[in-house]
Amino acid sequence: MDKLVLRGIGISRRPLYSACPRWGFRWPTQQRLAFSFSCSSRLAADATTHPKLSDTPCRTRFAPSPTGYLHLGSLRTALFNYLLARASGGQFILRIEDTDQTRLVPDAEEKLYEDLRWAGLSWDEGPDKSGPYGPYRQSERLPLYHEHADKLVGEAKAYRCFCSPEALEERKRAAHESGESTLYPGTCRGISPEESDDRARKGEEFAIRFKSAEESASYKDLVYNIFKKKDAEEDFIIMKRDGFPTYHFANVVDDHHMKITHVLRGAEWLISTPKHIELYRAFGWEPPQFGHLGLLVGRKRQKLSKRDNSSDLGFYKRGHILPATVLNFVALLGWRAPPGTEVMSLRDMVDKFSLNFTKGDIVVSMYKVPYFQNKHLQRLVESNDPADAPLIQREFLDPIQAAIQTVQQAKSNGDAIAPGSDVQTAELGDPLPAAAILHDARFRPDLVRVLLGFPLSLDTPADRFASAVGKLRYYLWQVPEGVLERAVRDGKLDPVVAPPAAAAKLGEAVAYLRDKFHAVVEEGGGGAWHREALERVMRDAMVDQTTYCKFFEGGSKNNSQQNVYLPLRWALLGLEKGLPISATMEILGRDETLRRLDVARRAADKAAVVNVGVQVPTPSSP
């Protein structure tokens, strides 16, 4: 058996074909082929050069079969064809290849449209968009295939095969057992046209086979350069006994009539392309330019399973991974972007697109997905583009609201801890109506900052929304007075509030700050309540040696920053770490901030009474 020539095509990681002693060579990620073959592929001497984009508009197509759902590999194929069309000012066509009627999945076609739209890959012509070369569903193009098959039969370039599937299978089994070739031996090739016509008229079932050339066709691939199989093709079927075309035949006829100029597809189709070239030559048509993309494999070089998270598009959608993240991740699986441009929007990809593809298998590793997700989420929120509002709602706000509802439901049910969260429901007060952190677009960057503080799990990416809700609980619910009082009694404010007798001073400090913040509103009006003005109040308190600093003479050795920030974080958030205090007050708003400071004053006074039995002054109204 001839060995495969691979050195010339620059595949250093894994050969295109692997040896199987019983069945001959086979594509490593496909089912066993029932025939053996060898092939050779040699590149030009300069393997670092890559074809340039066409100077004329390219017509590309994505032609999935609705026998399953869109996965990572097929999305990558769609993306690269989309990018080539858009980068050249051409058209991107969607064609549904539904000739295998026995394997159709009822909702696969509609799901395909949904997934492509989710990804932002719009098509110019397709089953749902009229165009000059429709229809765009192969089952609706049967007369065209029959016309062209009959033409080949009439020109003696194809013939009717009356062999039954059972007879063919039995012949293949016997040939395999005896060590002979399992290729179709051309049994019906010698039947005269007259006999063939007569048997067809009498209703005898038949398929139509193409008369393959004695030598396999070669072609120049955009990725692998010159490709040629060593062995000739068998006489392959172009029209099945059920009257439907095979993939190979319909593919060629449709690409020609739809004026497709470039075909980018998975490298598993390398070995089939010589068949397509022969068909183009038989019709006298100019074939499109072909480019075959390296196969996506797992870390152990195994074929990606449809059950793998990395391959399942539904995994990304359920985890609220942004479409831009998925496209960015997929684009770099076999395409080399210009240096320093790793994070790309779809528009960026169009602008930077080239035919600089990697040869050989592509190992899919998801370790960069969290990085891309964080970058694209920041970009999305900071863009302030009204067109992005539905996407922000669906992929960012909706999952946060769902996590909030889960916590609130657990609280209403009396559950101690919300499912999927570490939030203790007993430590939550009443929910804040229309919480600004969630509903005010000005605070989206703050919300994103909290969310990105939690790592994105590659197993359960949606989990960090629940984690963020836990972190933000006091931006969404009120802080119970008992939580504040308990924090003082348990020494959680040490060393600022130490010894416990200083709790009374804590209440006075909070009242002082409350008056200062209220003055901001009185002096500047409601519009003065912003983080810069609030930060100035806190800085003034830090240097107020005559009044404020005296509240903490027995505390943290006059750490003026901690003397201000820690009491406020306690009063406003129950000591929960998170956003800066000035940002917290701006988000909570004037009324809620002042209300919480009043509650904190009462909690501090109660803690002082419990701890040392001291008399505390009655809070004065502002």
CA distance 69 to 119: 14
Clarify whether 151 is annotated catalytic: no
CA distance 257 to 503: 84
Specify whether the backbone of 374 is left (phi greater than 0), alpha (psi in -120 to 50) or beta: alpha
CA distance 595 to 110: 53
Beta bridge partners, 19, equal 25
The C-alpha torsion from 115 through 116 and 117 to 121, rounded to 10°, is 160
In order, the DSSP letters of 60-105 are EEE---TTS--BHHHHHHHHHHHHHHHHTT-EEEE-B----GGG--
Instruction: Compute CA 186 distance to the chain's CA centroid, rounded to the nearest angstrom.
Output: 47
Residue 373 burial by Cβ neighbours in a 10 Å radius (0-12, 13-18, 19+): buried
For 224, half-sphere exposure in the C-beta direction (CA atoms, 13 angstrom radius) is 31
Inter-CA distances, 595 with 477, 572, 574, Å: 13, 9, 14
DSSP 8-state symbol, 498: -
With H, G, I as helix, E, B as strand and everything else as coil, classify residue 382. Answer: helix
CA distance 268 to 601: 72
With H, G, I as helix, E, B as strand and everything else as coil, classify residue 68. Answer: coil
Beta bridge partners, 225, equal 221
Catalytic residue among 129, 151, 306, 550: 306
Strand order in the sheet with 225-229: 39-42, 225-229, 218-221, 289-293, 262-266
CA distance 570 to 361: 56
Q: Residue 252: enclosing H or E segment and its boundaries?
A: helix 247-257
The C-alpha torsion from 214 through 217 and 218 to 224, rounded to 10°, is -120
Neighbouring residues of 376: CB distance < 8 A, sequence distance ≥ 6: 322, 324, 325, 328, 343, 345
The CB density around residue 176, as the number of other CB atoms within 10 Å, is 15
Please calculate the CA angle 481-484-488 and round it to the nearest 5 degrees. Answer: 140
With H, G, I as helix, E, B as strand and everything else as coil, classify residue 222. Answer: coil
Inter-CA distances, 14 with 42, 74, 225, 502, Å: 16, 22, 18, 72
Neighbouring residues of 133: CB distance < 8 A, sequence distance ≥ 6: 93, 125, 257, 258, 259
List the catalytic residues. 306
